[in-house]
């Protein structure tokens, strides 16, 4: 059995690429403290303005604070090297964090709906001036956090950004309603907008849930053309064909490749080196975080089993 690990090539490419990305841990940490502090302000403001919508949003933000806290924890874990138990490292822990965030977001959205629907029947008056001030502050705080996190490509950061985007949009709705209520007594606008925004966010949650489940089930990343990759490997000089080529992702950003290459004949040391280098160049172009390519001679027993290889 002959194999080569191209991780060195991919790691160099990955480090070069990541130098242009924001520090997701620092961004999530900032968003956590902003969200937690503002939740306290919301609870007090909701009571003072007699606005059930703001109180509901405060409870929703409390759920977001929990999501941000766990996201901060799981993102921090990914910086640790692999261990004897987790040899690939801790990047997949961010998927667990994303799943927890999705569940919290689903539950909090259902809560908002249970608060908003009854208000369609019996609208309650609220302090429009107080709502306006809180809405301006809410849009500013959540909008700033969304901008800081939106450039992160990790699934966990994307789900957290969705949490904050929901809050920002919710405060835009409160802002619009507060302005209208300053001039006209139409309190039913508040629950109507709240329901529309929540349905929009639920649509986004379902999309993120599908992506997270695909990653947990080790689906091939959508942006990667695995058939083209197989063709490139099979067209290498001295390679008869590829088989058992598998691609999956640790966290939606760091991809892993394993492949078997059956050679036309037993190779000399120089030929082996040439094939190894050519395969490494293909891996580097695709930017894999980790890859293992095994070269097999004709008539050699495949480790997966003869019935499944040649």
Q: Using the 8-state DSSP alphabet, how is residue 259 labeled?
A: E
Asked if 124 contacts 181 with a C-beta cutoff of 8 angstroms, the reply is no
Asked if 108 contacts 64 with a C-beta cutoff of 8 angstroms, the reply is yes
Q: Kindly report the backbone phi and psi dihedral angles of residue 260, in degrees, each rounded to the nearest multiple of 5, phi listed first.
A: -110, 130
Asked if 113 contacts 132 with a C-beta cutoff of 8 angstroms, the reply is no
The model's pLDDT over 136-172, given as tens digits with 9 standing for 90+, comes to: 998 888 888 788 777 666 666 677 777 778 778 878 8
What is the pLDDT, as a whole number, of residue 270? 92
- Mind listing the domains of the chain with CATH numbers? 22-216 (1.20.1510.10), 226-308 (3.30.70.1350)
Left (φ > 0), alpha (ψ -120 to 50) or beta: where does 54 sit?
A: alpha
Asked whether the predicted pLDDT for residue 104 surpasses 70, the reply is yes
Asked if 49 contacts 71 with a C-beta cutoff of 8 angstroms, the reply is no
The model's pLDDT over 215-241, given as tens digits with 9 standing for 90+, comes to: 889 888 888 888 999 988 988 988 888
Q: Which residue has the higher pLDDT, 194 or 212?
A: 212
Q: Name which of 130-134, 153-157, 177-181, 214-218 the model is least confident about.
A: 153-157
What is the pLDDT, as a whole number, of residue 133? 92
List of E strands, the chain? 2-5, 239-249, 255-263, 290-296
Q: Kindly report the backbone phi and psi dihedral angles of residue 125, in degrees, each rounded to the nearest multiple of 5, phi listed first.
A: -70, 150
Token code pair at residue 8? 């060195």
Using DSSP, how many helices (H) and how many strands (E) does the chain show? 9, 4
Averaged pLDDT of the chain: 79
Q: Rounded to whole angstroms, how far apart are CA atoms 143 and 284? A: 37
Q: Rounded to whole angstroms, how far apart are CA atoms 155 and 25? A: 13
Q: Rounded to whole angstroms, how far apart are CA atoms 196 and 176? A: 14
User: What global pTM score does this model have?
Assistant: 0.68
What is the pLDDT, as a whole number, of residue 136? 92
Distances (CA, A) of 3 to 21, 265, 294, 309: 33, 16, 4, 15
The model's pLDDT over 33-42, given as tens digits with 9 standing for 90+, comes to: 888 898 899 8
């Amino acid at each position: 059995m002959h194999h080569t690990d191209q991780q060195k090539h991919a790691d160099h490419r990955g480090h070069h690429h990541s130098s242009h990305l924001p520090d997701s841990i620092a961004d999530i940490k900032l968003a956590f403290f902003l969200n937690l502090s503002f939740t306290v302000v919301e609870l007090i403001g909701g009571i003072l303005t007699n606005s059930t919508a703001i109180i509901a949003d405060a409870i929703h933000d409390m759920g977001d604070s929990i999501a941000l806290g766990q996201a901060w924890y799981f993102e921090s874990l990914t910086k640790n090297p692999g261990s004897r138990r987790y040899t690939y490292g801790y990047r997949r822990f961010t998927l667990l964090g994303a799943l927890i965030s999705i569940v919290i977001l689903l539950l909090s959205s259902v809560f908002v709906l249970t608060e908003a629907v009854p208000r369609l029947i019996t609208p309650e008056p609220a302090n429009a001036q107080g709502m306006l001030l809180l809405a301006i502050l809410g849009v500013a705080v959540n909008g700033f956090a969304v901008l800081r996190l939106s450039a992160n490509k990790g699934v966990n950061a994307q789900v957290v950004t969705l949490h904050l985007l929901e809050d920002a949009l919710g405060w835009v709705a409160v802002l619009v309603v507060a302005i209208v209520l300053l001039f006209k007594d139409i309190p039913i606008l508040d629950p109507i907008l709240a329901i529309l925004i929540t349905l929009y966010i639920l649509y986004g949650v379902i999309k993120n849930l599908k992506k997270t489940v695909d990653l947990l089930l080790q689906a091939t990343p959508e942006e990667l053309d695995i058939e083209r990759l197989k063709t490139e490997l099979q067209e290498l000089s001295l390679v008869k064909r590829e088989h058992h080529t598998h691609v999956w992702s640790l966290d939606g950003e760091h991809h892993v490749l394993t492949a078997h290459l059956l050679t036309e004949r037993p190779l000399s040391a120089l030929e082996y080196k040439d094939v190894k280098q050519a395969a490494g160049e293909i891996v580097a172009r695709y930017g894999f975080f980790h890859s293992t390519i095994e070269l097999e001679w004709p008539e050699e027993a495949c480790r997966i089993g003869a019935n499944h290889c040649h």
